């Protein structure tokens, strides 16, 4: 039995002309394995599109809001706004997880795996809104749900690069610069996941995962910062 997508549309303030776009955005790859008669594809193509729409809308909004800031600053703030942790939280805020079509196994996922599913579905939702409503409506939705957090991110300096912060702390505490090394990589070429370790004087202090080496390095640095505070 499908969730009541009419309730979700009211929650997010978007009424789809073509409801299949919304259904597709909520269809995880795993759902098709157990429901082979489901007429729609999984949401990864919409995720690909939504990622581009999100980046354009956020870039445009930052460009207008901070006319005196250089591209390095704007890039850092944008990265803090669109990483999977931030997007997963926004997905939870709009109860997107209640409407995802998942296999029974995926429904039980917790932790990072669940965060990634939520973040990807949110990007797929943006792709669906863009196709159904056009860029302006998609940009308005992004402004309400994502860009509305920009003041908090800037005020609390949440955009600061974890790698830079950890390097500062490591040099202060250990008088050395940390190094990063790929521990493993898995998955298909279009969705490869990396595990990266961060090392101090050949001793691994933390690991991180990500869909790029850079993302995995940042998570490793973030985890290393947390370990220093313990």
Question: Terminal CA-to-CA distance of the chain, rounded, Å?
Answer: 46
Beta bridge partners of 182: 196
Q: How far apart are CA 176 and CA 200, in angstroms?
A: 7
Q: How far apart are CA 1 and CA 217, in angstroms?
A: 41
* Contact assessment for residue 168 and residue 194, using Cβ atoms and an 8 Å cutoff: no
List own/partner pairs for 86-91 with CB under 8 A and 24 or more apart.
86/146, 86/149, 87/118, 87/119, 87/122, 87/123, 87/146, 88/114, 88/115, 88/116, 88/118, 88/119, 88/122, 90/122, 90/145, 90/146, 91/118, 91/119, 91/121, 91/122
Catalytic option among 24, 51, 215, 217: 51
Q: How far apart are CA 213 and CA 201, in angstroms?
A: 21
107 a catalytic residue: no
Rounded to the nearest angstrom, the gap between the alpha carbon of residue 204 and the centroid of all alpha carbons in its chain is 26
123 a catalytic residue: yes
Catalytic option among 123, 132, 217, 219: 123
Residue 20: name the closest of 124, 117, 95 by CA: 124
Catalytic positions? 51, 123
């Amino acid at each position: 039995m499908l969730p009541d997508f009419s309730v979700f549309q009211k929650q997010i303030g978007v009424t789809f002309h073509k409801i299949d776009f919304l259904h597709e955005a909520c269809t995880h790859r795993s759902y098709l394995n157990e429901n082979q008669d489901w007429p729609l594809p999984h949401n990864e193509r919409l995720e690909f599109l939504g990622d581009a729409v999100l980046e354009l809308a956020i870039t445009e909004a930052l460009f207008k809001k901070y006319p005196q800031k250089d591209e390095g600053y704007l890039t850092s703030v944008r990265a803090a706004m669109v990483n999977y942790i931030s997007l997963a939280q926004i997905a939870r805020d709009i109860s997107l997880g209640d409407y995802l079509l998942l296999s029974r196994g995926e429904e039980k996922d917790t932790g990072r795996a669940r965060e990634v599913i939520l973040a990807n579905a949110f990007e797929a939702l943006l792709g669906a809104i863009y196709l159904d409503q056009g860029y302006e409506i998609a940009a308005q939705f992004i402004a309400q749900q994502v860009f509305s957090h920009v003041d908090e991110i800037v005020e609390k300096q949440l955009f600061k690069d974890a790698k830079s912060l950890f390097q500062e702390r490591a040099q202060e505490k250990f008088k050395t610069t940390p190094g990063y090394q790929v521990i493993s990589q898995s998955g298909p070429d279009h969705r490869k996941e990396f595990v990266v370790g961060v090392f101090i004087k050949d001793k691994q202090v933390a690991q991180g995962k990500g869909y790029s080496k850079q993302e995995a390095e940042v998570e490793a640095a973030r985890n290393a910062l947390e370990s220093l505070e313990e």
